[in-house]
Amino acid sequence: MGLFDRIKRAFTGEDKVVKEEIEQESSAVVFDSYDKGLEKTRTNFTDLLSNLFTGFREVDEDFYEDLEETLIGADVGFNMTLALTDAIRDEIESQNVHKPEDVKRVMLEKMVQLYEREGGDNLVALKENPDGPTVILFVGVNGVGKTTSVGKIGYQLKAAGHKVLMAAADTFRAGAVEQLNVWGQRLDIPVVTGQDQGDPASVVFDAVKRANEEQFDYLLVDTAGRLQTKINLMDELAKIKRIIERENPNGVQEVLLVLDATTGQNALIQAKQFNEATDISGLVLTKLDGTAKGGVVLSIRYDLDIPVKYIGLGEQATDLQVFDSEQYMYNLVKGAIEKN
């Protein structure tokens, strides 16, 4: 049963049952992580909806204008807001609903339905190389948590029994190599490094060679993300990819863009810009627990055909969770359902 059907049932008074079902389908740790990690976003979304329906009189043009302001305030994004408002308008007219609780039900149901139609969790799993090490490139601007994400994902892969190697190819950022070395020492994962301000491609060459010779399962590459010089970024990533494709069977498996969720719609802008510079296969959305702007996941899903693969729900290495769209959507809207 999809989340759309669960939300419909929740509005009929079965919210406790729906919560138990979703909790049983994942570990208690995962459920609690999403519950706590999305608290600020959920509270913001619930408060915005409460304000929308305070003093509700009728469904008219003023209501739809307020609805658009509410969705944009929740960082759902402009394009998703327009599509969602049109879908809600059509459904309200089709069902001929007037009561505020029915209007809210239609709104949340259409939000979930529109989100589910834009993609599924089948794209979340990391692609694996069947013949040689799986190579994952991490890109992103400074300060988004890129190097930390490399370390956390490396930790999880090692904990799952995989042999992991990391490459410090962000040679231009002060402290990036040192930071990845700290992660490597802490996790007992080897790190390939080069000269400060040196050629990132040479680091990658050495890393791929070692990954092949020593039969590593995964090679995680921390790359430089100088988005302000897009041509240089494209050239650099293209050079890195050529080296990997020459030295590694099946080339690069994933290019993951790391984004800071606290920047809201700026994260979406960065995603669009990076996607123009190189082919992004997935997104890592960090610091989601520290922001009320978690609605940006909706706009990213709607505007870009790129799956969110990991979300950061806390400081611990285990708090970088594989993205679960049902957990995300349920924890986003459950506050509004409970207040219905």
Determine whether the annotation assigns residue 263 to a binding site.
no
Q: How far apart are CA 112 and CA 100, in angstroms?
A: 19
Determine whether the annotation assigns residue 289 to a binding site.
yes
Determine whether the annotation assigns residue 141 to a binding site.
yes
Determine whether the annotation assigns residue 71 to a binding site.
no
H-state helical runs in 189-319: 200-213, 230-247, 265-277, 296-303
Determine whether the annotation assigns residue 225 to a binding site.
yes
Q: How far apart are CA 195 and CA 158, in angstroms?
A: 27
Determine whether the annotation assigns residue 81 to a binding site.
no
Determine whether the annotation assigns residue 258 to a binding site.
no
Instruction: Select from 286, 276, 11, 267 the least CA-distant residue to 148.
Output: 286
CB 25 within 8 A of CB 316: no
CB 87 within 8 A of CB 114: yes
Q: Which residues pair with 135 in a beta bridge?
A: 219
Residues 6+ apart with CB under 8 A from 273: 227, 230
Determine whether the annotation assigns residue 36 to a binding site.
no
Determine whether the annotation assigns residue 286 to a binding site.
yes
Which residue is associated with the tokens 């459920």? Answer: 31
Determine whether the annotation assigns residue 140 to a binding site.
yes
Determine whether the annotation assigns residue 124 to a binding site.
no
Determine whether the annotation assigns residue 191 to a binding site.
no
User: Token pair for residue 302?
Assistant: 């709607």
H-state helical runs in 160-262: 176-187, 200-213, 230-247
H-state helical runs in the chain: 3-9, 15-24, 28-37, 39-53, 61-73, 78-95, 100-117, 146-159, 176-187, 200-213, 230-247, 265-277, 296-303, 325-338
CB 144 within 8 A of CB 258: yes
Determine whether the annotation assigns residue 324 to a binding site.
no
Determine whether the annotation assigns residue 13 to a binding site.
no
Determine whether the annotation assigns residue 150 to a binding site.
no
Annotated binding site: 140-147, 222-226, 286-289
Annotated binding site for GTP: 140-147, 222-226, 286-289
